[in-house]
Amino acid sequence: MSVQTLTLATAENTEIISHDPATGEEVGRVPNLSAAEVIAAVKRARAMQGAWAALDFKERGRIVMRARQIVLDEIDAIARLISRESGKPLTEAISMELTPTLDLMQFFARKTKKLLRTEKLDIGQYGLMGRSSRIIYKPLGVVGIISPWNFPWAIPLGEVVMALMAGNAVVLKPSELTPLVGLKIGEVFKRAGLPEGLLQVVTGDGKTGAALAEAGVDKIMFTGSVATGKRVAEAAARQLIPCVLELGGKDPMIVLEDANVLMAASAAVWGGFANSGQACASVERLYVHEKIATQFIEQVVAQVRALEQNIGTREGTDIGAMSSERQLKIVEEHVNDAVSQGARVLVGGHRRDDLGGMFYEPTVLADVSHQMDVMREETFGPVLPVMTFKTEEEVLRWANDSVFGLTASVWTRDASRGRRLAEKIEAGTVTVNEVLYTHGIAQTPWGGMKQSGIGRTHGRLGLLELVAPQHIHVNRVTSFRDLWWFSYTPRAAELFRGLARRFATGNPLQTSLLLPQMIRRLFERRN
């Protein structure tokens, strides 16, 4: 897409109005930035990045810790903004978005230096030849972050902190559904003293996102749908720049016959319905062993009936509004399609028109199969379809019968059995007796297999996505030419044949048998 067409398109629609999905009220207005404006932002970021990279980790960490203090001081106001723009309950904005990122901020502010310290490599026999190798980690330059609406604070903020701590500048494009939360992130860092230009928030719709992917950044960190992720990967390929893609999931939860039924049922309800099921790691498929199925499903249904659904900013709300009409329609389509093919609604199954906004009842479906969309496509809503299984082999086959592979969970009182099954599941993260929450752990990697994405965020593996490893190799022996340099005399050929056999064993004793020939070679050259 050319710069010109993007500018023309946004000229007709220069503003985005952000609405509260629970009430329909306007939360605020932001500019829908053109490609030219995005390119200018990337240029400004690049101009500032060198000086930022020259600071030491402590100085960068000080600014991140100051930003952390601002967030702590204003936690209720920020939670309210998150709740109003996304529809999620206030409590959840604090527990699932703010608390984990406050921890992440302190972790990367203090530990990035250690996580990115220079690494000395063991280079085997080359080390005995007076050489040494190190890896240093350098910033990439300008990182473009394109983020979604479901965790409008936690997803971009984690990446912003890691990118900045690694010495990069950042241009962030928040979702058009939650732009004010994105701008808030920028404001917090500005007030914390981050030099102007190092973190710029470019608001806009998909065209602004596409423009950022083409604007000359050094890496794109994208979280969103598979379809858009593929477009971002194409843009990255055209420029030969790397990208990390955090895409959707259809995450299975497997409840074995020896699981603690109350714990597993409570986890299924939270894992399926937190954030109205709009998390990439939400439980989207529930498999329960037939021996405990009746008791387990009764427990799940009873707990779902007790959930309080209301406007997110009201105290006591468990389940808030969904983020958009579009998202709600996907949920309706999946439930209706399942019911038309014989699924039974155990609880829920309808839109909540009485509440006014984008509310869909928490819904549990039985008698579902892998022929239905609700078991194959990402629903991203408050729907929990349940199937029963007889054997481990059967449930493993079902769990892996998906194009996605983000997270999965196994429930059992036998931890080693859980671990053994976990290793057979095709997913980036598999938890045993836990569900959904590990995105909140700053130290652990986050990312998927199969269509759930490429690359990792969080943890050391996530941090390594935001740096360029550079190999520095030093030869301390400066008075002899290398054995393998010119001239290729007949004696040299003979020595290389010997080395092929002995050096390549990796055993220095074997190589030492060739020492006399090697010494002779050191002095043997045509000039």
Q: At its nearest, how many Å lie between ligand TXE and the CB of residue 319?
A: 18
Contact residues toward ligand TXE (CB under 6 A) are: 146-150, 173, 175-176, 205-206, 209-210, 213, 223-225, 228, 231-232, 246-248, 280, 327, 330, 378, 380
Residue number with the shortest CB distance to ligand TXE? 209
Specify the residue, 99 or 225, whose C-beta has the smaller distance to ligand TXE: 225
- Nearest residue (CB) to ligand TXE, 48 versus 243: 243
Distant-in-sequence, close-in-space partners of 441: CB < 8 Å, separation ≥ 6: 100, 458, 459
Segment holding 384, helix H or strand E = strand 383-389
Active site residue 12: no
Q: Closest CB to ligand TXE among 326 and 413?
A: 326
**Beta carbon nearer to ligand TXE, 1 or 472:** 1
Catalytic residue among 159, 280, 361, 465: 280
Pick the catalytic residue: 214, 246, 378, 465? 246
Least Cβ distance, residue 385 to ligand TXE (angstroms): 16
> Minimal distance in Å, beta carbon 209 to ligand TXE?
2
Q: Decide whether 85 or 205 has the Cβ nearer to ligand TXE.
A: 205
CB of 329 to ligand TXE, least distance (A): 10
Helices and strands (DSSP H and E) totals, the chain: 21, 20
Q: Which is nearer to ligand TXE, 149 or 411 (CB)?
A: 149
Note whether 220 and 243 are within 8 A (CB).
Answer: yes
Give the residue carrying structure tokens 């399609």.
337
405's enclosing H/E stretch is strand 404-405
Active site residue 280: yes
Q: What is the rounded distance in angstroms from the CA atom of residue 323 to the CA atom of residue 225?
A: 15
d(CA 197, CA 41): 8
Residue placing its CB nearer to ligand TXE in the complex, 164 or 330: 330
CB count within 10 Å of CB 472 equals: 10
**Least distance in angstroms from the C-beta of 20 to ligand TXE:** 17
Residue pair 307/318 in contact by the 8 Å Cβ criterion: yes
* Phi-psi category of residue 24: left, alpha or beta, with phi > 0 → left and psi -120 to 50 → alpha: left
The helix, strand and coil proportions of the chain, stated in percent and rounded to the nearest 5, come to 45, 20, 35
Looking at beta carbons only, is 141 or 148 nearer to ligand TXE? 148
Cα 383 to Cα 19, 281, 332, 363, 379: the distances in Å are: 24, 13, 10, 5, 8
Q: Which amino acid makes up residue 469?
A: P
The least CB distance from residue 415 to ligand TXE, in Å, is 29
Rounded Cα distance, 443 and 162, in Å: 12
Query: Which residues in 283-380 belong to E strands, given as ranges?
Result: 283-289, 344-347, 363-366
- Spatial CA neighbour of 160 closest among 283, 225, 63: 63
Shortest distance, position 168 Cβ to ligand TXE, whole Å? 19
In angstroms, what is the minimal distance from the CB of 292 to ligand TXE? 31
Neighbours of 449 (CB within 10 A): 15
The span from the CA of 40 to the CA of 216, in Å, is 10
Q: 3-state class of 301 per DSSP?
A: helix
Nearest to 394 by CA among 249, 254, 250: 254
Shortest separation between residue 314's beta carbon and ligand TXE, angstroms? 25
Burial class (CB in 10 A: 0-12, 13-18, 19+), 236: buried
Question: 201 vs 269, which CB is nearer to ligand TXE?
Answer: 201
Kindly state the tokens that stand for 189. 């860092």
H-assigned helices in 122-240? 125-128, 154-165, 179-191, 206-213, 226-239
Residues with catalytic annotation?
246, 280
